[in-house]
Structure 1
Amino acid sequence: MPHRSRLAGFIIDCNTGDLDAATDFWSQALGCSIADRDAGDDSAQYQMLGDTPGDLHIEVQKVDHASRVHLDIESDDIDAEAARLERLGAKKVAFVKRWWVMEAPTGQRFCVVRMQHPEQGAPPTEWP
């Protein structure tokens, strides 16, 4: 069964005790507003940036691991997309709540997440 996917955006992982200060820095550094200071839930604290270039999804996230930037790929079928990416050489690292954490053959981590707004942004690619 075919599925669709596309780049969802970039997540700025910050190993910090002060998410507000980290978000303030990145919003000013990138020339973006802070769209939602209260985004996230009890186990994943993040804040979304607004007025991003090309309406790209960018969020600042508080994490326990080393600070880094990762990208999210969104799909209407995350298991099919993870399998497609495995065929390309990626490997599954962990399933977290409702998304796959994966690793590219070159070592970069990224996530495969559920598509939220398929009608917005660039059209997703349909895969057989």
Structure 2
Amino acid sequence: MHKSRLAGLVIDSQGGEKSSAIDFWARALGWPCHETDEKYGKLATPPDQPDVLIQQVDHPSRVHLDIETDDIEAEVARLEGLGAQVVERLERWTIMEAPTGHRFCVVHPQRPDFEDADNVNAWA
């Protein structure tokens, strides 16, 4: 058995300065940015809501979901059974594409309450 849930929304921002994308989305959503590094900005979302990340990318701007899980391989296999395809396997996450063409990532647990949360799905 493994567990998974929606970890967050990632706003992929092509070109420009990352700080301008962070500033826009922080102001638009009403959550200040409380963590940054060379590639990401993380907004201060309430603890009961998914994370919102702004990511500097080379591909066209888009929004994608991150699904957090305690077993990436099992979750990838489950999602493949639903019709998703693996786009790329990376060291710490797997990029997938839904049958609808939407990209998303399967990642290790991101939110600190993952193990104890009531809103995590358990899959056999």
TM-score with structure 2 setting the length: 0.90
CA 15–126 in structure 1, closer or farther in 2 if over 3 Å, else same: same
Residue 53 of structure 1, CA deviation: 8.1
2: CA distance between counterparts of 1:103 and 1:85?
Answer: 10
Structure 2 equivalent of residue 28 of structure 1? 27
Deviations 1:47-94 (A, max 9, x none): 100034843200000000000000000000001000000000000000
Secondary structure, counterpart of 2:26 in structure 1: helix
Root mean square deviation of aligned Cα: 1.7
- Residue 47 of structure 2 corresponds to residue 48 of structure 1: no
2: CA distance between counterparts of 1:120 and 1:70?
Answer: 25
Residue 97 of structure 1, CA deviation: 2.7
CA 4–103 in structure 1, closer or farther in 2 if over 3 Å, else same: same
Q: Is the 8 A contact 1:55 1:121 kept in 2?
A: no
2: CA distance between counterparts of 1:62 and 1:121?
Answer: 30
Q: Is the 8 A contact 1:14 1:66 kept in 2?
A: yes
Gaps in structure 2 of 5+ consecutive residues: none
Q: Is the 8 A contact 1:10 1:69 kept in 2?
A: yes
Structure 2 equivalent of residue 111 of structure 1? 105
TM-score with structure 1 setting the length: 0.88
Aligned length: 122
Structure 1 equivalent of residue 67 of structure 2? 73
Identity %, equivalent residues: 50
Gaps in structure 1 of 5+ consecutive residues: none
Q: Is the 8 A contact 1:14 1:22 kept in 2?
A: yes
